[in-house]
């Protein structure tokens, strides 16, 4: 118990002092996750909106796949990306394995279905509410899509935050494709797993405190966005 208490005090001291090693891991974690979520949003928002508004061959299949991929095991994604990027794989010539880029690719695959599926649900609900108005105004498909994306911006931002929560908490896939290499691909989740196995509780607790704070900030931001949407009368 004394050992745990000492480690906890040391962890708080590291966070307050902005320990260089700690901040390096946190910086890489945020950089990878933010980049992955940005790419996933660019892919997922229009994909989700298109499957909500348009009827085309294969639409049902895409919707089923997106819903199924929301629960895709991270280690499976990591394995697939590893095979693709390994020297014997089709993309091995790019030399991306065990780099932050490989970690971003894995996180994009995990986050895109979440953003796309949540976007589809939001846009479908809005389309049911505003379909007659859109048609009476003569709005074309693209204009309707753009208008609904803007009208549902608060809910869509919440969907993006949900994707960021998934990305920042990911460990299995990034461990496989990143290798947890010090000063190169070590992020908060993989560092916590490593430090606990080594018995270095102070660093693991410090990273855990930051990860918990980050999670609380994401959830708090989502709550504030929903409240703002309710106050302004915007669909949420």
Four-CA torsion 209, 215, 217, 221, nearest 10 degrees:
180
**What per-residue confidence (pLDDT) applies to 24?**
93
Longest Cα–Cα distance of the chain, Å, equals 71
Whether residue 235 is predicted with pLDDT greater than 60 in this model: the reply is no
Nearest partner of 30 among 199, 172, 214, judged by Cα? 214
Cα 69 → chain centroid: 13
Contact (Cβ atoms closer than 8 angstroms) between residue 90 and residue 84: yes
Q: What is the CA radius of gyration of the chain?
A: 21
**What per-residue confidence (pLDDT) applies to 220?**
86
User: For 24-74, how does the pLDDT look when each residue is reduced to its tens digit (9 = 90+)?
Assistant: 999 999 999 999 999 999 999 999 998 988 888 888 888 888 888 888 889
**What per-residue confidence (pLDDT) applies to 101?**
95
User: For 174-221, how does the pLDDT look when each residue is reduced to its tens digit (9 = 90+)?
Assistant: 999 998 898 899 999 999 988 888 887 888 899 999 999 988 888 888
Mean pLDDT of the chain: 87
Question: Which one is predicted more confidently, 236 or 52?
Answer: 52
Question: Which one is predicted more confidently, 235 or 167?
Answer: 167
**What per-residue confidence (pLDDT) applies to 54?**
83
Nearest partner of 170 among 33, 21, 26, judged by Cα? 33
Mean pLDDT of 158-167: 89
Q: Which positions ≥6 away from 226 have C-beta within 8 Å?
A: 154, 158, 236
pLDDT-based confidence at residue 232 (cuts at 50, 70, 90): low
Percentage of the residues of the chain whose pLDDT score is greater than 90: 38
pLDDT-based confidence at residue 104 (cuts at 50, 70, 90): very high
Mean pLDDT of 101-126: 93
Contact (Cβ atoms closer than 8 angstroms) between residue 190 and residue 178: yes
Mean pLDDT of 226-235: 67
**What per-residue confidence (pLDDT) applies to 234?**
59
Superfamily of domain 2-229: MetI-like (1.10.3720.10)
pLDDT-based confidence at residue 111 (cuts at 50, 70, 90): very high
Question: Which one is predicted more confidently, 233 or 99?
Answer: 99
Whether residue 81 is predicted with pLDDT greater than 60 in this model: the reply is yes
- pTM here is 0.88
In the chain, what are the domain boundaries? 2-229
């Amino acid at each position: 118990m004394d050992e745990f208490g000492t480690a906890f005090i040391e962890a708080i001291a590291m966070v307050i002092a902005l320990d260089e090693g700690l901040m390096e891991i946190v910086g890489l974690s945020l950089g990878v996750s933010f980049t992955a979520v940005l790419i996933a949003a660019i892919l997922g928002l229009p994909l989700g909106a298109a499957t909500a508004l348009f009827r085309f061959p294969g639409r049902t299949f895409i919707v089923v796949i997106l819903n199924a991929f929301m629960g895709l095991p991270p280690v499976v994604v990591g394995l697939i990306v590893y095979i693709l990027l390994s020297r014997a794989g089709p993309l091995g010539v790019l030399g991306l394995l065990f780099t932050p880029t490989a970690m971003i690719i894995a996180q994009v695959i995990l986050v895109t279905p979440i953003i796309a599926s949540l976007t589809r649900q939001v846009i479908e609900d809005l389309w049911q509410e505003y379909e007659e108005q859109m048609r009476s105004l003569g709005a074309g498909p693209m204009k309707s899509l753009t208008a609904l994306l803007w009208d549902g911006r608060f809910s869509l931002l919440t969907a993006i935050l949900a994707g960021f929560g998934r990305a920042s908490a990911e460990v299995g896939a990034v461990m496989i494709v990143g290798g947890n290499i010090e000063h190169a691909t070590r992020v908060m989740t993989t560092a916590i797993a490593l430090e606990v196995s080594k018995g270095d509780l102070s660093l693991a607790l410090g990273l855990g405190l930051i990860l918990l704070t980050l999670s609380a900030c994401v959830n708090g931001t989502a709550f504030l966005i929903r409240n703002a949407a309710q106050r302004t009368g915007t669909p949420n």
